[in-house]
Amino acid sequence: MFDTRHIDPFWKGLQSCEPYRPAADWLLESPYHRPTDLSALPVETLDEPLRPDTLLTQRSLVLNRLLFNIYQQNNLYLPEGRFSDADTRAFQGFYEPRFVAANALVRPALDRTCFDFLSREISVDGPWTIEHLEEYCTRLLADYEATPSDLCLRIEASPHPQQAARAYLVQLAVDFLAEASQMALALPGNYGPAQSEMMKIFIDEFGYGVHQKKHSTLFVKTIESVGLSARMHTYYYWYLPSSLLLTNYFFWTTVHKPSWFESLGGLYWAEAVNPYFHRRFGQLLKKVFGREGTDTGYFDEHAGIDLHHRRMAFDKLMRPMVRQYGDAVIPAMVRGIETYRLLGDLTERDFLAQMDFCDALLTGGAAASGPVDLSLAEERPRGFLLEPRVCDVDTVVAVARGEVEVDAGYLQPRRLGAGEAVRVPAGRMVGARVVSEGARLSVAPERPVGRG
């Protein structure tokens, strides 16, 4: 069933489908348009699992975009205004049964490509008892809360703290614009008291039916108050591979039912770290944007309610599950906790490295380390978009003629004129758009500087 040759026709269909076509701009206007450039990837790419050293690459970005879009087809999105003809076509296209089916057929192989490395990286050797698990969780949490948030400190210290804070909110938007939708996928069925306990957490996440209290609504108010668009996945192009991977992992553990016990561990840790981190991040937003008009309601809410949610996740979900099914289910819970910690560290590392590059770019740095060869620069029309992508090797973006804007996720491009160039370190994301007629642009691996 997982033989990739059998899914090749569906893969080819996805390579040329309408919802995955490239966009004209790096801010997207429709929740049904998800540029996913599969053209350079044959179906055999699914036979090559991502590894720790390939997680922050262009292939990982594209595969995680694809997986994100596949899982997102479980979520309903509607246009903000009336349905235009274009909206209607795009809406029906995104949820079209044959398109959904092609995505679904690809998903099992793609899940394995994206998550296989976790089984090698994480060890959950026992023996475990509920007492060990409780001790382990208490110790992890105490350590976490005793360590100052490097991320907040680095954003504060950035020469562009507002842009950096917005860029981080963009990474959170991957998940928070439809927060807890994964949990909704864990609820169907009939599996005893745990289901009703899970429902209690879910009800809080969804504002117990009051739209203004729904966590995703609180998030929207927060990001709008600092100048970001709340339109669904406007910033899709700027989602880093690690942010997509973390969200995809939550989808995977809820959709893939044998991962139930693992999903509880992930849920516990996600709720457990929120009170500390969200209190800190809410304070940071006020500091960076000023107290006036900065809505930190989303972060304030989580600093409080997730103290309950983490207790509920442990005492009402994990503990009774172990009592009922025995110690044998504990390693999967530990796996969920450890995976969340590993992916949490990865997202932070990825974001901080991207932030460093964005800071350098906006401050006028990020210079190429040697002379730039412009002989291969190609003519590009005004409006040409180099889709935001991850550079797998150190890369130089250079302008031979005209003007080009370059951005890396700060949503404030740097304008390069003729003869100017920037160096993009390996693993970093960059996008460019031509803003003058008849520009000549080169995007090429940086050549080692010769000696002598």
Query: Judged by CB, which is closer to Fe ion: 175, or 356?
Result: 175
Q: Which of 175, 205, 407, 446 binds Fe ion (CB under 5 A)?
A: 205
Count of C-beta atoms within a 10 Å radius of residue 14: 21
Query: Judged by CB, which is closer to Fe ion: 270, or 421?
Result: 270
User: Quick check: 389 binds Fe ion (CB under 5 A)?
Assistant: no
User: Quick check: 309 binds Fe ion (CB under 5 A)?
Assistant: yes
Q: Which residues make Cβ contacts (< 8 Å) with residue 341, sequence separation at least 6?
A: 140, 269
User: Quick check: 215 binds Fe ion (CB under 5 A)?
Assistant: yes
Minimum distance of Fe ion from residue 153's CB (angstroms) = 24
CB 115 within 8 A of CB 55: no
Rg (CA), the chain: 23
Find the part of the chain contacting Fe ion (CB under 5 A) among 105-113, 133-141, 247-255, 268-276.
268-276
Per-residue contact flags (x/-) with Fe ion for residues 270 to 299, judged by CB under 5 A:
-x----------------------------
User: Quick check: 214 binds Fe ion (CB under 5 A)?
Assistant: no
Find the part of the chain contacting Fe ion (CB under 5 A) among 25-33, 78-86, 264-272, 279-287.
264-272
Find the part of the chain contacting Fe ion (CB under 5 A) among 65-73, 109-117, 269-277, 427-435.
269-277
CB 179 within 8 A of CB 240: no
CB 442 within 8 A of CB 376: yes
DSSP H/E element including 429: strand 429-434
Query: Judged by CB, which is closer to Fe ion: 306, or 359?
Result: 306
404-407 and 414-416: which strand pairing? antiparallel
C-alpha span between 389 and 384 (Å, rounded): 15
Query: Judged by CB, which is closer to Fe ion: 33, or 302?
Result: 302
The torsion angle over the Cα atoms of residues 355, 230, 301 and 244, rounded to 10 degrees, is: -50
Query: Judged by CB, which is closer to Fe ion: 2, or 208?
Result: 208
Query: Judged by CB, which is closer to Fe ion: 83, or 208?
Result: 208
Query: Judged by CB, which is closer to Fe ion: 33, or 309?
Result: 309
User: Quick check: 306 binds Fe ion (CB under 5 A)?
Assistant: yes
| Residue whose entry in the numeric block shows the structure tokens 């996913």 | 36
Find the part of the chain contacting Fe ion (CB under 5 A) among 142-150, 203-211, 245-253, 394-402.
203-211
3-state helix, strand, coil in the chain (%, to 5): 60, 10, 30
Q: Is 384 left (phi over 0), alpha (psi -120 to 50) or beta?
A: beta
Find the part of the chain contacting Fe ion (CB under 5 A) among 11-19, 148-156, 265-273, 328-336.
265-273
Residue type for position 124: V
User: Quick check: 233 binds Fe ion (CB under 5 A)?
Assistant: no
Minimum distance of Fe ion from residue 432's CB (angstroms) = 36
Nearest to 6 by CA among 109, 100, 159: 109
Query: Judged by CB, which is closer to Fe ion: 59, or 309?
Result: 309
List residues binding Fe ion (CB under 5 A): 205, 215, 271, 306, 309
